[in-house]
Structure 1
Amino acid sequence: MLRAAVCCCLSSLAGIGTIAATFVSRSGPVLKKGWHTSSEGRGRLLLNMFSENIYINTNFKNKFDSSDLNADSAPVPQKKTTTHESCHRFSKVLLTSFTVYFLLLTTLFSVALISLFKKYSQLLEEKALIKELNYTKLECRKQHSFLKDKVWNCCPKDWKPFSSYCYFTATDSASWSESEEKCSSMGAHLMVIHSQEEQDFITKILDPKAAYYIGLSDPGHRQWRWVDQTPYNESATFWHPGEPSSDNEQCVIINHPYSGWGWADSLCSGKQKSVCQMKKICV
Structure 2
Amino acid sequence: MTAALTERTVRGVAALDRAAQDVRQALGSVLDPELDEPITDLGFVRSIDVAGAADGAVVAVHLRLPTSFCSPNFAYLMASDSKDVVSALPWVGKVLVELDDHHDSALINAGLAADAGYRGTFGHEAEDSLDELRLMFRRKAHTAAMERCLSEQLRADPALTEMNVGTVRLGDLPPGRTKDALVRRRTALGLPAEPAAVVLVDHDGRPYPAEQVPLALRRARSTRISIDGNAHFCRGLLRTRYAGSGADQTDRPEGAEPADHHQLLPFTVKETNP
The TM-score range, normalised by the shorter chain, is: under 0.3
Structure number with larger C-alpha Rg: 1
Alignment TM-score, normalising by the size of structure 1:
0.23
Higher relative contact order (CA 8 A, sep 6+): 2
Return the TM-score normalized by structure 2. Answer: 0.23
**Which has a greater percent of strand?**
1
